[in-house]
Amino acid sequence: MLITLTLLGKDAHLTDEDEFEDGIKAAMNVFAQHNADPQACAAANDKLVRNELLTREEAMLCVIWDEADTAAFQSATLGWLSRDVDIYLGIE
């Protein structure tokens, strides 16, 4: 199954095409560094958000997802004067 990473949030539309691509590339680099499946990380993160019990492996996948989300945000908003924006990593 093919997945598509994207940037979501009420301010995601403020990113231009290059910023959007930089954010997605930064997230993909994190997943590649950890040899992690983005979809598995997203699923584990969804369990965390729903306050469900996580296995040790799922907890690690949540950490990787958070790292990828942070990398995407920082890359997409590099040079912006405000950091008070709502942009986060998602899967379509």
Tell me the mean pLDDT in the region 84-89.
95
* pLDDT value of residue 83: 73
What tokens does 1 get? 């199954």
Spell out the residues 6+ positions from residue 45 whose beta carbon is closer than 8 angstroms to its own.
Answer: 61, 62, 65, 66
Q: Is the dihedral of CA 10, 85, 81, 7 positive or negative?
A: negative
Cα end-to-end distance, the chain, whole Å: 12
Tens digit of each residue's pLDDT (9 = 90 or more) over 31-70: 999 999 999 999 999 999 999 999 999 999 999 999 999 9
Predicted confidence band of residue 3 (pLDDT cuts 50, 70, 90): confident
Bridge partners (DSSP) listed for residue 90: 6
Residue-averaged pLDDT of the chain: 95
| Owner of token pair 């040790």 | 56
The amino acid sitting at 34 is H
Predicted confidence band of residue 1 (pLDDT cuts 50, 70, 90): low
**pTM of the predicted model as reported, rounded to 2 decimal places:** 0.93
Is it the case that residue 20 has pLDDT exceeding 90? yes
